[in-house]
Structure 1
Amino acid sequence: MSVHLGFSIPINVFGPGLCIAHRGTIIINKNTRVGENCRIHACTNIGSSRAEVSAPQIGNNVYIGPGAKIFGNIVIADDIAIGANSVVNKSFYEKGISIAGIPAEKISTKGSDGIIVAATQIAKNNP
């Protein structure tokens, strides 16, 4: 199915509640770790930098906009929204912010709240 939809997503990279907004190219490095309730859009690449084995470690409830490129031995905190076509090559430890740009920088104190469906919370409340 991944070939048909344009995904290259290794197993055990994403936590529960992953939402893939629509089909299109999504490339994820096998060493990446992403928490619960990630919403990811097409044309996204998450990987390591040249000559690095380590890949991004991304928290819970993170929104990743279309065309985002996230790479290197970096950490992305919980509840962050990453804007479309952003290039994220450094860590962001502050929770609940929006980042965007090339290279990405903090643009707002409003994070992913309201644009993420907390599927894991819904599942816990509806056994």
Structure 2
Amino acid sequence: MSVHLGYSIPINVFGPGLCIAHRGTIVVNKDTIIGENCRIHACTNIGSGRDNVLLAPKIGNCVYIGPGAKIFGNVEIADNIAIGANSVVNKSFYEKGISIAGVPAKKINNKGSDGMVITATKIISVPALHEAVERPL
């Protein structure tokens, strides 16, 4: 399926609630760690730095990754950050709930990813799943 849709996403890289906005090229390094409820767009590359291929990004929960974003190296991205389209992220951002953009990326405002990410893990809870199973069709 990944070949047909243009994805190169190894298993167990993303936490639950991943939202792929539309098909297109998405390449993610196998050593990347990404939290829950991430929204990612096409033409995105998340990879290791050239100095050490084992040091890949660590990305928090509820992060919005805009189309064409490049995130690489031993960087950390805090929770609820929005990464603008075509941004190049090559340093860490530890402040939660901000928006970053540019080449190289820098903080542009305090809006963050609120309203841009669907928190699927909160919508689909275990009790709701049990109720759906027990309810007759």
Task: State if a TM-score over 0.5 links the two structures.
Answer: yes
TM-score scaled by structure 1?
A: 0.98
Unaligned runs of at least 5 residues, structure 1: none
Which range moves more in the overlay, 45-54 or 26-35?
45-54
| 1:121 aligned onto 2:100 | no
TM-score scaled by structure 2?
A: 0.91
Which range moves more in the overlay, 18-27 or 49-58?
49-58
2:4: which partner in 1?
Answer: 4
- The separation in 2 between residues aligned to 1:35 and 1:49, in whole angstroms, is 20
- The separation in 2 between residues aligned to 1:2 and 1:104, in whole angstroms, is 28
2:29: which partner in 1?
Answer: 29
SS, match of residue 126 in structure 1? helix
SS, match of residue 124 in structure 2? helix
The Cα shift of 1:22 comes to 0.3
1:81-102 CA-to-partner distances (Å, cap 9, x unmatched) read 0000000000000000000000
- The separation in 2 between residues aligned to 1:88 and 1:16, in whole angstroms, is 23
Matched ranges for 1:20-99 at <5 A: 20-52=20-52, 53-99=54-100
The Cα shift of 1:51 comes to 2.9
- The separation in 1 between residues aligned to 2:128 and 2:98, in whole angstroms, is 29
1:63-118 CA-to-partner distances (Å, cap 9, x unmatched) read 00000000000100000000000000000000000000000000010000011000
1:28-80 CA-to-partner distances (Å, cap 9, x unmatched) read 00000000000000000000011311100000000000000000001000000
- The separation in 2 between residues aligned to 1:126 and 1:60, in whole angstroms, is 22
Matched ranges for 1:97-108 at <5 A: 97-108=98-109
Unaligned runs of at least 5 residues, structure 2: 130-137
- The separation in 1 between residues aligned to 2:116 and 2:15, in whole angstroms, is 18
The Cα shift of 1:126 comes to 2.7
What percentage of aligned pairs have identical amino acids?
Answer: 76
Q: Which amino acid aligns with 1:8?
A: S
Q: Over the residues paired in the alignment, what is the CA RMSD in angstroms?
A: 0.8
